[in-house]
Amino acid sequence: MQSITSSDQMAPQFLRRVLLPILLVTTFALLLSGFALYWSVAQSNTISVERQLKSTELYIRAAVDELAQQQEMVAVWDDTVEEVRKAELDTIWLDANIGGWLHKTFGQDKVFILNSENQPIDATVDGQRVSPEAFSPFAPALHDIIMGLRGELSSRHRGHSEERASNPYLTSGKAVNDAHLLRIGDRPAAVSAMLIVPDSDRVTQQPGSESILVSIRFLDGDFLTQISNRNLIEDLRFSLYPDTKDGEVSVPFDSDEHERIGYFLWRPELPGTKILQVIGPSTALVSALLVAAMAFLVAWLWRTMKALGTAIIEIRASEAQAHHLAFHDSLTGLPNRACFEERLNKALLHNKAGEKVAVLLLDLDRFKNVNDTLGHHAGDSVVREFGSRLRAIIPSGSTLARFGGDEFALIHSGISNEQEVEALCSRIIDAVRRPFPVLGTEAFVGVSIGVALAPDASQDCHDLVRKADIALYRAKADGRDCFRLFTCLMDEAVRIRSRVEGELRAALRAGDELRVLYQPLVTAKEGRIIGLEALVRWQHPSRGLILPDQFVPIAEETGLISELGEWVLREACTVALQWPDFVVAINLSPKQFHHSGFADRILAIVQEAGADPHQIHLEVTEGILLDDNDVTQEGVRSLRSAGFKIVLDDFGTGHSGIGYLQRFDVDKIKIDRSFVQDLGQGDGAAVVRAIIDLAHAMKLTVTAEGVETAAQKDFLSSAGCNELQGFLFSQAVPREQIQDIFALTETCRGYAS
C-alpha cells in the first residue's frame, strides 16, 4: 500500500498484486481438481476393467472344472457302468441320466460315450440324441486327452490328468478324468473326458476296460450370455482376432497348451465414467460458481481498493492542508514562524561562501492606534495590505513570514553587500509610508526594521532572529520608522540591560541600594521653599552611584517601573508626612499608566501612608498626552479627582504643543531645562515668555527647572514664572538634609529679592 495515489497508478498495481495471483490460484485450483477428477475416473475405470478381466478369466477357467464335476455325477456310478455294458443300450435311460440330463441340467453342448476301444457308442448334441458318428469331427482334437486318460505315456495330456486327480476340490478320489480348454474348429471349448467307474463294490470294473464319458461345452454363444448375465458384463463375445469395436476391451484366451485360442471382447463397465456423467454437470456448475465468486471477489477488491485509494488521497490532502495550516498564517496566508525557521535553517545551510543571508524583522509603528481607534477589522486589513505591499517589493526567492500581530520577518539570501539590504529596507519603509485605506478612511503607520546578517552576526537561526530583534528594538528606540543593522555593540547593550534588570530586581527586593533624594522647589518671587521633588538614585555596591537616566529606561522596558515607582511613592509619602507644609512631587513613567487599576494603587499607597493626596504632585511627561489609551486617560482623571495635582514635566520637548493642554487636565507645567539653558541665545527668551503667557491664559501654574544662574532666575521671575527649581537653589539632597535646606531659605530669599 505504499504508493497508491491515483486510480491511474492503481490499475497496473491491482493487476499485478491482486488480479494475477487470484487468476493463478483459481486456474491452478480448477486444473488440480479437474486432474484429480480425471485421475479418479480413469483409476476407477481401470480397476473395474481389471476386475472384469479377472472374473471373466476365472469364470472361463472354472468352466473346465465345473464340467468335470458335472460328469462325475453320472460317470462314477454303478448304474452307468452296468448300462454301458449292455449289448443293447437303453437309450431312454441314457437320455434321462447321461446326455440329455447333462445338457438339460448343465447346458453341456456335446456328450459322447466311448467304449473301451474308444469307439463312440452314444452321442447327444444340444440335448438331442444323434448318431455316434457325430463324434468323428471331434476325435482328432480329443485324441491326446483320451490317450492320456488310457495311460498312454506319449500323451501330452497325461500330466494334466494326474495333476487334476490330486486336486480333491474338483472331483472326488474315484473320478479319473482330464479336462482342458481347447479350440475346436473355430470355437473355444471346455472339454472333459472321464472314465466311467462304479461308485461301490457291488459292481466290478476291470482297469483298462472302462468306457469314457466325453463332455464338450463351447465357450462362445450360450456360455458367454451366461457369463454376461452372471458377471454383469455387457456384450461379451468371442473372436479369433482382437478386432475391438468402439469402447471395447479384449482379453486374449489361451489353451492349456498355451496356444492362442482367440479373444474375448466386451464393452467394459466404466463406473468412473458413470460417476463423471453424474457429477460432471454439478462439478462444472460448482467450477462456474467458483469462477463467478472469484470474479465477484476481484470486482469487490477493485472497488474497495479504489475507495481506499480515494480515502488515502483525501487523507493526504487533509494532511497537506493541516501541514499548510501548521506552517502558514491564516490571516495573510504567509508562512508562520515555524515555516520561517525551517526556511532560514535551509538558507543558512545552503549559503555560498562570500554571500550573506539577511534576516529582517519588521514591526509596524502606531499599529496599536489603528486597532484602538478603528477596530480590529481595520487592524487586520492593514496587516493584510502590509503583507501584500511587502510581497510586491521583496526580491524573488526571499521568504516573507508573519509572526503574529504586526510582526513580520523576511529572509533575503544571496546578498553580496550591506547596501543591498539597506536599499531593500528603504524601499519597504517608503512603501509603508503611503496611507493605508481602511473602512473608508486612511490609516498612517510606519515600519521599524531590525536586520541581522549571516554569517557576520551569527550562523544560528535562533541567534540570528534574536539579533535582528535587538536591531529592531534599537530602530524603535531611535524614533521608529527606520531600520538598524545589528552590531556587536547592540548585543553588548542588551547584555548590560539584562544584567541591570537582574540587579535592579534584586535591589528592589532588598531595598537598601535604592534611595530617594529631594530637590527643593521655590517660589519665583519670594524664593520660599514650597515643595520637594523626589528623585531616585541607585547606590550600586560595585558600580557606585547610578543616575535614573541609566536605569529608569531599563525599568520601563522590563516592567520593573511600576514596582520602582511605587517604592519611590512610599518613600515620598513619609517625607510628606514629615513636612506637611511642603508639596512633594514624584515622577511617573507613562508605562505605569498602562496598567489598569494603577490610579487606585497610587491612591491606596498614599492613604496607607496616611498622607494627603493634595500634598502630592504627580509629574508626567508629554507622551502621556499623545497616549490615546482609555486606561491612561481614565487613570489621570481619577487621580486628579482624588486630589492629586498633575504636573506636565519636561514641557516643550515633545510634540504635544500648547493645544494638547486644552483637552488634557493638568495643573502645572514644568518648562524643560533646555529652554532655560537657551535663554541667552536667539529668541530663547521670547519662546519661554510665550509659553508662560499661554499657560497663564489657561490658568496653569508654571515652573522652570534647571535654573543654575541668577540671570536665569531673574528673567524667569520677571516673565511671570511661578516656581523655580535648579542647582542655583539646591541639588537634590537626602531626606536627612532637608532640614539644612531651611538654612538656605534665607539665601533663596536673597536671590528672590
Q: Which residues bind Ca ion (CB under 5 A)?
A: 587, 619, 649-650
Contacts of residue 644, defined as CB under 8 A and 6 or more positions apart, other chains included, come to 602, 613, 614, 616, 617, 618
CB of 634 to ligand C2E, least distance (A): 20
Task: Tell whether residue 649 is a contact of ligand C2E (CB under 6 A).
Answer: yes
First to last CA, the chain: 102
Task: Give helix then strand counts, H and E, for the chain.
Answer: 26, 26
Position of minimal CB gap to Ca ion: 619
CB of 393 to ligand C2E, least distance (A): 41
Angle of CA points 425, 427, 430, to nearest 5°: 110
Q: Total number of residues binding ligand C2E (CB under 6 A)?
A: 25
Inter-axis angle of helices 158-165 and 139-149, nearest 10: 60
Task: Tell whether residue 420 is a contact of ligand C2E (CB under 6 A).
Answer: no
Query: Residue 746 CA to chain centroid, in angstroms?
Result: 91
- Within positions 726 to 745, which residues make up the interface with ligand C2E, using CB under 6 A? 726-727, 732
365 vs 672, beta carbon nearer ligand C2E: 672
- Over the range 270-287, which residues count as b (16 or more CB within 10 Å of their CB) and which as e? bebbeebeeeeeeeeeee
- DSSP reduced 3-state for 350: coil
Judge contact between 521 and 532, C-beta under 8 A: yes
Closest CA to 149 of 137, 165, 173: 165
Q: Which does 708 bind (CB under 5 to 8 A by kind): Ca ion, ligand C2E, none?
A: ligand C2E
Distance between CA atoms of 520 and 669, rounded to whole angstroms?
Answer: 16
Q: Which does 627 bind (CB under 5 to 8 A by kind): ligand C2E, Ca ion, none?
A: none
Task: Tell whether residue 589 is a contact of ligand C2E (CB under 6 A).
Answer: yes
390 vs 671, beta carbon nearer ligand C2E: 671
- DSSP reduced 3-state for 523: strand
Closest CA to 382 of 360, 402, 358: 402
385 vs 619, beta carbon nearer Ca ion: 619
CB of 529 to ligand C2E, least distance (A): 14
359 vs 639, beta carbon nearer Ca ion: 639
- Span near ligand C2E by CB under 6 A; candidates 14-22, 205-213, 631-639, 720-728: 720-728
Q: Are strands 514-523 and 483-485 parallel, antiparallel or unpaired?
A: unpaired
84 vs 732, beta carbon nearer ligand C2E: 732
CB of 649 to Ca ion, least distance (A): 4
CB of 564 to ligand C2E, least distance (A): 7
109 vs 619, beta carbon nearer ligand C2E: 619
CB of 537 to ligand C2E, least distance (A): 7
536 vs 669, beta carbon nearer ligand C2E: 536
383 vs 555, beta carbon nearer Ca ion: 555
Q: In the stretch 463-502, what mask flags binding to ligand C2E with x, by CB under 6 A?
A: ----------------------------------------
Task: Tell whether residue 519 is a contact of ligand C2E (CB under 6 A).
Answer: yes
Q: Which does 726 bind (CB under 5 to 8 A by kind): ligand C2E, Ca ion, none?
A: ligand C2E
Distance between CA atoms of 102 and 215, rounded to whole angstroms?
Answer: 9
CB of 423 to ligand C2E, least distance (A): 39
- DSSP reduced 3-state for 538: strand
Task: Tell whether residue 650 is a contact of ligand C2E (CB under 6 A).
Answer: yes
Q: Which does 210 bind (CB under 5 to 8 A by kind): ligand C2E, Ca ion, none?
A: none
Task: Tell whether residue 568 is a contact of ligand C2E (CB under 6 A).
Answer: yes
DSSP track, 47-58? HHHHHHHHHHHH
- DSSP reduced 3-state for 46: helix
Q: Where are the beta strands (DSSP E) in 396-505?
A: 399-404, 407-415, 436-438, 441-443, 446-454, 483-485
Q: Which does 83 bind (CB under 5 to 8 A by kind): ligand C2E, Ca ion, none?
A: none
- Within positions 600 to 619, which residues make up the interface with ligand C2E, using CB under 6 A? 619
509 vs 655, beta carbon nearer Ca ion: 655
Closest CA to 356 of 407, 424, 403, 406: 424
370 vs 724, beta carbon nearer ligand C2E: 724
Judge contact between 398 and 347, C-beta under 8 A: no
Distance between CA atoms of 429 and 363, rounded to whole angstroms?
Answer: 11
Closest CA to 485 of 449, 439, 522: 449
Q: Which does 474 bind (CB under 5 to 8 A by kind): Ca ion, ligand C2E, none?
A: none
452 vs 572, beta carbon nearer ligand C2E: 572
Q: Which does 548 bind (CB under 5 to 8 A by kind): Ca ion, ligand C2E, none?
A: ligand C2E
CB of 391 to Ca ion, least distance (A): 46
Distance between CA atoms of 394 and 384, rounded to whole angstroms?
Answer: 15
Judge contact between 80 and 74, C-beta under 8 A: yes
Query: What's the grid cell of residue 176?
Result: 479319473
Task: Tell whether residue 708 is a contact of ligand C2E (CB under 6 A).
Answer: yes
370 vs 522, beta carbon nearer ligand C2E: 522
Distance between CA atoms of 710 and 689, rounded to whole angstroms?
Answer: 17
Task: Tell whether residue 587 is a contact of ligand C2E (CB under 6 A).
Answer: yes
Judge contact between 583 and 532, C-beta under 8 A: yes
94 vs 584, beta carbon nearer ligand C2E: 584
- Within positions 522 to 551, which residues make up the interface with ligand C2E, using CB under 6 A? 534-536, 547-549
**Side chain identity, residue 425:** C
Closest CA to 619 of 652, 653, 595, 584: 584
CB of 429 to Ca ion, least distance (A): 32
Closest CA to 129 of 167, 156, 102: 102
> Which DSSP helix (H) or strand (E) runs through 369?
helix 367-374
678 vs 708, beta carbon nearer ligand C2E: 708
Q: Are strands 645-651 and 668-671 parallel, antiparallel or unpaired?
A: parallel
- Within positions 229 to 248, which residues make up the interface with ligand C2E, using CB under 6 A? none
CB of 433 to ligand C2E, least distance (A): 32
- Span near ligand C2E by CB under 6 A; candidates 155-163, 200-208, 462-470, 719-727: 719-727
249 vs 508, beta carbon nearer ligand C2E: 508
Q: Which does 512 bind (CB under 5 to 8 A by kind): Ca ion, ligand C2E, none?
A: none
Task: Tell whether residue 565 is a contact of ligand C2E (CB under 6 A).
Answer: yes
CB of 670 to Ca ion, least distance (A): 5
Interface residue list for ligand C2E (CB under 6 A): 519, 534-536, 547-549, 552, 565, 568, 587-589, 619, 649-650, 673, 705-708, 725-727, 732
